[in-house]
Amino acid sequence: MDHKSNSFLETEKIGVLMRKFSIPCVISLLVGALYNIVDQIFIANADYLGSYGNAANTVVFPLTVVALAIAVMIGDGCCAFVSISLGAGNKEDAHKSIGNSIVLCIVSSLVLTAVYLIFMEPILTLFGGKVNEETYAYAEEYFFWITLGIPFYMFGQAMNPIIRSDGNPKFAMISTVAGAVTNIILDPIFIFPMKMGMMGAAVATVIGQMLTAGLSIWYLFHMKAVKLEKSSFKLSGRIVKKTLVLGITSFLSQASLVVSMAAVQNMCTKYGAMDEVFGQPEYAQIPLAVLGIVMKFFQIAISISVGMAAGCIPVVGYNIGAKRKDRAKTLFTYLLIAEAVVGAVALIIVEFFPQQLIGIFGAANESAYYTDFAVKSFRIYLCMMILATVNKGTFIYLQALGKAVESTIISLVREIIFGVFLPILLPIFFGLDGLLYSFPVADILTAVIAVFIIRRTYQELSIDDGVKRIKEGT
């Protein structure tokens, strides 16, 4: 079809476009996040799994993020490239980018699955799986079945932004919601009456991921703005390079998080063993389980943040391709305000309702040490949520503008330099408390850098490119 089918991205009101594209994207990411969160909720409330199963889920979670990182690099990069191509009227590059991305996703998912199955033990050990025998046994069982579903998971996640780039964020949302709802229905059935334990939680997840992948395949044959051809699947070095460059920030924002989580989980195990309470074998898994829960709530808030920014990618890309910097600047302003509001709401929840949050994850079945450490962790670890959401939105918006270098730098600084260095350094002086303070300190330092990049971006978007302004709808 003609690229004009997406021309409304240049004429519709910015606020309307932001709602139309961001809300479905937010819902898609939230529902995607629910896969692991729902697993952990049901695992935590199963008395035969408890905090050991909880800790095992925490161990495996970063490894699913690795798969997500590769998938979003391909999907978000393709989404940005397709949007820019359609905005510039280049339909040929658009369909080739989608076909190439499908091939890359399938190949990379199969390779990652093989790596996980071959090196399972050292990988689980790297993320704190051997904190005690019970935790490792549960982690191994859960990880094996989750790994078998990685090709379906990655395909569904990669196709989601590609479907949005075709101008159909609603279907992208529906395909993700369908899979997650399936998981939510099957989880309690497999875990409680059927007593399938960690395997049951994982199998429920994989079945949901298969449904999402199946719906995505169906949509690829019914796209509106782009039609796939046989030539679409022939790999092009030029297309692949441009697609991956635009998606590298999405990859780094997820992959660097994994590196940070590896550091945090290892330091958690190390300094937990030195703690007067958590050094006891029966309580050793508690810090790891609690931090996993805190990170799950953070994931919910950050999914909203990322969803709002990622939903803007087709809009920004199209307008930059159409040389409408004025609209890109307006959308940036709206996004930053929305990100700050999300962070503020999340902050209020973690500071005033930590006991209610931890109660969702089976606190009633655990010791007082579990609840006390959880309350403290929520209040300290997430006390800079406003900066965290604004920082994350900035990373992704810069990516949408084609500013891969700036976006990559700020993302790497946050997750690698601050996200790894601080969790290693601060506990030396403050023990487990130092680990909790490392997260807000990292966001404060990142925000200082982000302010300079945001200011320069505004200046560049303010430069008149000579294109006649269309006042209606700006």
* CA distance linking residue 394 with residue 319, whole number of Å: 18
* CA distance linking residue 48 with residue 340, whole number of Å: 41
Is the separation of the CB atoms in 396 and 306 below 8 Å?
A: yes
pLDDT at 453: 87
Q: Which two tokens stand for residue 52?
A: 């050991």
In the chain, what are the domain boundaries? 24-461
C-alpha distances out from residue 434 to 211, 385, 426, 427, Å:
42, 18, 5, 4
* CA distance linking residue 213 with residue 172, whole number of Å: 11
Residue 18's identity, in one-letter code, is M
C-alpha distances out from residue 456 to 47, 393, 452, 463, Å:
54, 16, 6, 11
Q: What are phi and psi of 192, to 5 degrees?
A: -95, -75
C-alpha distances out from residue 155 to 161, 273, 295, Å:
11, 40, 25
pLDDT at 464: 58
Residue 16's identity, in one-letter code, is V
Q: In terms of Cα–Cα distance, which of 423, 391, 421 is closest to 406? A: 391
pLDDT at 375: 93
Query: Angle between the 237-274 and 404-412 helix axes, to the nearest 10 degrees?
Result: 10
| 3-state DSSP assignment of residue 414 | helix
Entry pTM: 0.76
Cα torsion at 307, 312, 313, 317 (round to 10°)?
Answer: 180
C-alpha distances out from residue 139 to 58, 150, 217, 257, 294, Å:
9, 16, 31, 20, 19
pLDDT at 2: 43
Q: Return the CA Rg of the chain.
A: 22
Q: What is the DSSP string of 367-413?
A: -HHHHHHHHHHHHHHTTTHHHHHHHHHHHHHHHHTT-HHHHHHHHHI
Residue 316's identity, in one-letter code, is V
Residue 335, Cβ density class (10 Å: 0-12 exposed, 13-18 middle, ≥19 buried): buried
pLDDT at 6: 66
pLDDT at 471: 45
* CA distance linking residue 389 with residue 332, whole number of Å: 14
Is the separation of the CB atoms in 241 and 96 below 8 Å?
A: no
Question: CB count, 10 Å around CB of 467?
Answer: 11
For the chain, the 3-state helix, strand and coil shares in percent, each to the nearest 5, are 85, 0, 15
The Cα diameter of the chain in Å comes to 70
C-alpha distances out from residue 344 to 33, 101, 389, Å:
20, 37, 9
Query: Mind listing the pLDDT tens digit of every residue in the chain (474 residues)?
Result: 344 556 777 778 888 888 888 887 788 778 767 777 888 888 888 888 878 888 898 899 889 989 999 998 999 899 888 888 877 777 787 888 899 999 999 999 999 999 999 999 999 998 888 888 888 999 999 999 999 999 999 999 999 888 887 878 889 888 988 998 999 999 999 999 999 999 999 999 999 999 999 999 999 988 887 888 887 888 888 889 888 888 887 787 677 778 888 888 889 888 988 888 888 887 888 888 888 888 888 888 988 998 898 888 778 878 877 778 888 888 899 999 999 999 999 999 999 999 888 888 766 667 788 889 999 999 999 999 999 999 989 888 887 787 777 777 887 888 888 989 999 999 999 999 999 999 999 999 999 998 988 898 888 888 755 444 444 444
Is the separation of the CB atoms in 407 and 399 below 8 Å?
A: yes
* CA distance linking residue 382 with residue 295, whole number of Å: 9
What residues contact residue 396 under an 8 Å CB cut-off, 6+ apart?
A: 249, 250, 253, 306, 309, 310, 312, 313, 407
